[in-house]
A and B are shown apart, each in its own frame.
Chain A
Amino acid sequence: MSEAELATWTAILAAMVRAATPLVFAAIGELVTERAGVLNLGIEGMMLMGAVSAFGAAHFGLGYTMAIAVGMLVSVMMSLLFAFLALGLRANQVACGLALTIFGVGLSAFVGKNLVGTPVQPLPALEIPLLSDIPLIGQGLFAHDILVYTSILSVVAVSWVLFRSRVGLILRAVGENHDAAHAIGYGVLKVRCFAVMFGGAMCGLAGAYLSLAYTPMWVENMSSGRGWIALALVVFATWRPARALLGAYLFGGVTILQLHAQNWGVPVPSQIMAMLPYLATIIVLVLISRDETKIKLNAPACLGKVFHSGR
């Protein structure tokens, strides 16, 4: 392999990791939410609000840490709006999620109007000593910004908490049988509210990553369906964190190949290539859903169901 080819492959690998990162965040957040039995279709809206507020904070000179925190905070506030309606007022979760997306798309475009076209310094890369010197994968995997590493760590952490800790046990219990959990005495709504907030925070990270690192700028609707792809990833992962990570990287790969195809002179129009991630999502969804019992076995049994305490 020539030096130039090596550099290309390294760049592709690095680009794939970057493309996957927002999906990892959003999918892991939604996975936790769904494990608690709540279907939040508002990822896209929360992500955009996280993106615009983190970008705004950075633009007004708050510094990266604060900017990311602002993005998360705003996104959590959006998720609380959902929690209030879907959990507090027992409204239909599908409708609430759609409302959150429509509202988030509009509000982010609205408040971000004056930020369009303004620049911001991208998040700096942190090269991991030694590892980043490995040829090919060193610069591809170990020379990223802090959020990329955070996304991987969050998968590990969520995995551990869900399957090894008491908190995870309770969370899964609430998602599997909310009536039983309630009868035993767990605060179903409280657990679910925290899960929704966690989902919100992760969407905030996903958004902040988009506007501060991936394409360091703010554009209306810049998530372009990533929130929905993340939802599909959760199904693809059969609600397991490690598989969600794998799925996100697969999608990262598809996205990047699509961009590089033009550089390689593949004679397919850019619009057709741009359909790839969406078509891939559909295909993946079809492949995984084909086996109905597999989904039934793995899906949280109370997913999307309204919980009535009372009698």
Chain B
Amino acid sequence: MLLRLENRAEPSRLMVFVAPLLAIAATVVAGGILFAALGFEPFGALHMFFIEPISSMYGISEWLLKATPLALIAVALAVGFRGNVWNIGAEGQLVMGAVFAGGTALALYEVEGFWVMPLVLIMGMIGGSLYAAVPAFLRTRFHANEILTSLMLNYVAVLFLSWLVHGPWRSPEGYNFPESRMFTDSALLPALMEDTRLHVGALLAPVAAVVSWIIVSRTFLGFQIKVIGMTPAAGSYAGFGTNRAIWFSLMYAGALAGLAGAMEICGPIGQLVPTVSPGYGYTAIIAAFLGRLHPVGIILASLLLAQTYMGGDNTQIGLGIPLAVTQVFQGMILFFLLAADVLIRYRVRFDRRTRRVEAA
């Protein structure tokens, strides 16, 4: 093999920061090649993908709007990932949050009061965390792998929402479209900037980041989660309960994913529709990894990934490129990141001379 990995004595701190930048650079290059292969002028297309969507105030507001759910979910997922709790079900938890929040908003249709919107959001958090409690229960009680159970529940949640908006919750004045009534103003999040869809909920993302940082870096609970994730046997030696870590990680992520779902329907959407998320729950997984599981990194990563949604929309309109280009970019970023991460623990050597014993 030409490529050889050599252990570093200590993991490189520098590479922890450099690897995501390398991954982003590689993604941009690969994206350019992809656009060129499709017959577009690569620099123009890249500009259209990454720069153009955020070069207006409105663009920036949309950008922040899309980064909000990503950051909210990813900072919470990262807590679990540190403890080896692989919650892949944030998408379903988001949808369930939207269902609970939407149900509350519909029940309080035309009810006025300052308390309606907070209550709707809290119901969203409850819905998300109750839904996340299912894989937590199945894992702690029956040892069922949470990757598979939480993922299966994503499909179930989407189908459940679909049934609601096709059936019992369908708007009476909606011409048979599968959607609920528009929520009344008391349930909606006030705008943060005039004439944009950016709402006050966006302020909760940095709050969630700070809370997550305190949990992971300052609390004893976070310490326990880290120990269990790094070295399960050491956690068991110290008497740290794995079940508590699993329950906490899942419920916390469920609550924030549910909040993100509630904010989507009480913010930009304003009603329940069959599709309340373009895959934020999945993309947040990438954001968590790309952000190094650290809240600050995750906020930056969420901004970058929100850009891929904007870019996908923009190149679809401008160049007729399929919208799925967004996921292609997201997948590439994660791949390149995983590849670049090798530099943290290993030095990569390219040598043609294989490791042969030299003649003395």
- By a beta-carbon cutoff of 8 Å, the part of chain A in contact with chain B is 41, 81, 84-85, 88-92, 94-96, 98-99, 102-107, 109-110, 113, 220, 224-225, 228-229, 231-232, 235, 269, 271-272, 274-275, 278-279, 281-282, 285-286, 289-290, 292, 295, 310
Query: In the assembly, what is the distance between CA of A89 and CA of B6, in Å?
Result: 11
The distance from the CB of B139 to the nearest CB of chain A, in whole angstroms, is: 9
Within 8 Å CB of B342, what residues of A? 89-91
Question: Which residue of chain B lies nearest to A99 when distances are taken between CB atoms in the complex?
Answer: B334
Query: With A103-B332, A281-B148, A289-B143 in contact, do A91 and B341 touch (Cβ < 8 Å)?
Result: yes
Contact A105–B327 (Cβ < 8 Å): yes
Q: Does B147 contact A (CB under 8 A)?
A: yes
The distance from the CB of B244 to the nearest CB of chain A, in whole angstroms, is: 19
Complex partner residue of A272 from B147, B163, B286, CB under 8 angstroms: B163
Query: In the assembly, what is the distance between CA of A199 and CA of B285, in Å?
Result: 24
Complex partner residue of A41 from B147, B155, B286, B335, CB under 8 angstroms: B147
Q: Does B328 contact A (CB under 8 A)?
A: yes
Find the residue from B86, B166, B324, B329 having the highest chain A CB count within 10 A.
B324
Query: In the assembly, what is the distance between CA of A289 and CA of B139, in Å?
Result: 9
Within 8 Å CB of A285, what residues of B? 138, 144-145, 148-149
Contact B143–A106 (Cβ < 8 Å): no
Within 8 Å CB of B322, what residues of A? 109-110, 113
Contact A275–B160 (Cβ < 8 Å): yes
Query: In the assembly, what is the distance between CA of A286 and CA of B162, in Å?
Result: 26
Complex partner residue of B334 from A95, A275, A310, CB under 8 angstroms: A95
Find the residue from A90, A99, A229, A232 having the highest chain B CB count within 10 A.
A99
Contact A310–B7 (Cβ < 8 Å): yes
| A-contacting residues, B140-158, CB 8 Å | 142-145, 147-149, 151-153, 155-156
The distance from the CB of A51 to the nearest CB of chain B, in whole angstroms, is: 14
- By a beta-carbon cutoff of 8 Å, the part of chain B in contact with chain A is 3, 5, 7, 86, 88, 138, 142-145, 147-149, 151-153, 155-156, 159-160, 162-163, 166-167, 282, 285-286, 289, 322, 324-332, 334-335, 338-339, 341-342, 345-346
The distance from the CB of B161 to the nearest CB of chain A, in whole angstroms, is: 9
The distance from the CB of B275 to the nearest CB of chain A, in whole angstroms, is: 12
Contact A278–B155 (Cβ < 8 Å): yes
Contact A232–B148 (Cβ < 8 Å): yes
**3 nearest A-B pairs in the assembled complex, by CB-CB distance:** A106-B327, A103-B331, A109-B324
The distance from the CB of A39 to the nearest CB of chain B, in whole angstroms, is: 9
Query: In the assembly, what is the distance between CA of A94 and CA of B345, in Å?
Result: 18
The distance from the CB of A81 to the nearest CB of chain B, in whole angstroms, is: 7
Contact B147–A292 (Cβ < 8 Å): no
Query: With A98-B285, A285-B145, A310-B7 in contact, do A103 and B328 touch (Cβ < 8 Å)?
Result: yes
Query: In the assembly, what is the distance between CA of A278 and CA of B295, in Å?
Result: 33
Complex partner residue of B160 from A41, A106, A220, A271, CB under 8 angstroms: A271
Within 8 Å CB of A228, what residues of B? 148, 151-152
Query: With A107-B331, A232-B148, A281-B152 in contact, do A102 and B286 touch (Cβ < 8 Å)?
Result: yes
Within 8 Å CB of A109, what residues of B? 322, 324, 327
Within 8 Å CB of A275, what residues of B? 155-156, 159-160
Query: With A105-B327, A228-B148, A271-B163 in contact, do A292 and B338 touch (Cβ < 8 Å)?
Result: no
Contact B327–A282 (Cβ < 8 Å): no
Query: In the assembly, what is the distance between CA of A220 and CA of B324, in Å?
Result: 10
Contact B142–A286 (Cβ < 8 Å): yes
Query: In the assembly, what is the distance between CA of A113 and CA of B345, in Å?
Result: 40
Within 8 Å CB of A96, what residues of B? 338
Query: In the assembly, what is the distance between CA of A279 and CA of B153, in Å?
Result: 8
Contact A94–B147 (Cβ < 8 Å): yes
The distance from the CB of B289 to the nearest CB of chain A, in whole angstroms, is: 6
Contact B145–A289 (Cβ < 8 Å): yes
User: Given A228-B152, A231-B148, A275-B156, list of 8 further CB < 8 A pairs?
Assistant: A89-B338, A98-B285, A103-B328, A103-B332, A103-B334, A228-B151, A229-B152, A278-B152
Within 8 Å CB of A286, what residues of B? 138, 142, 144, 149
The distance from the CB of A18 to the nearest CB of chain B, in whole angstroms, is: 21
The distance from the CB of B311 to the nearest CB of chain A, in whole angstroms, is: 13
Question: Which residue of chain A lies nearest to B274 when distances are taken between CB atoms in the complex?
Answer: A271
The distance from the CB of A106 to the nearest CB of chain B, in whole angstroms, is: 2
Within 8 Å CB of B156, what residues of A? 275, 278-279
Within 8 Å CB of A220, what residues of B? 324
Within 8 Å CB of A290, what residues of B? 142-143
Within 8 Å CB of A98, what residues of B? 88, 285, 334
Find the residue from B149, B282, B329 having the highest chain A CB count within 10 A.
B149
Within 8 Å CB of B286, what residues of A? 99, 102
Contact B5–A90 (Cβ < 8 Å): yes
Query: In the assembly, what is the distance between CA of A84 and CA of B342, in Å?
Result: 12
Question: Which residue of chain B lies nearest to A91 when distances are taken between CB atoms in the complex?
Answer: B338
Query: In the assembly, what is the distance between CA of A269 and CA of B342, in Å?
Result: 49
The distance from the CB of B231 to the nearest CB of chain A, in whole angstroms, is: 14
Within 8 Å CB of B327, what residues of A? 102-103, 105-107, 109-110
The distance from the CB of A287 to the nearest CB of chain B, in whole angstroms, is: 8
Find the residue from A81, A229, A275, A310 having the highest chain B CB count within 10 A.
A275
Within 8 Å CB of A92, what residues of B? 338
Within 8 Å CB of B152, what residues of A? 225, 228-229, 232, 278-279, 281-282
Complex partner residue of A106 from B148, B166, B167, B324, CB under 8 angstroms: B324
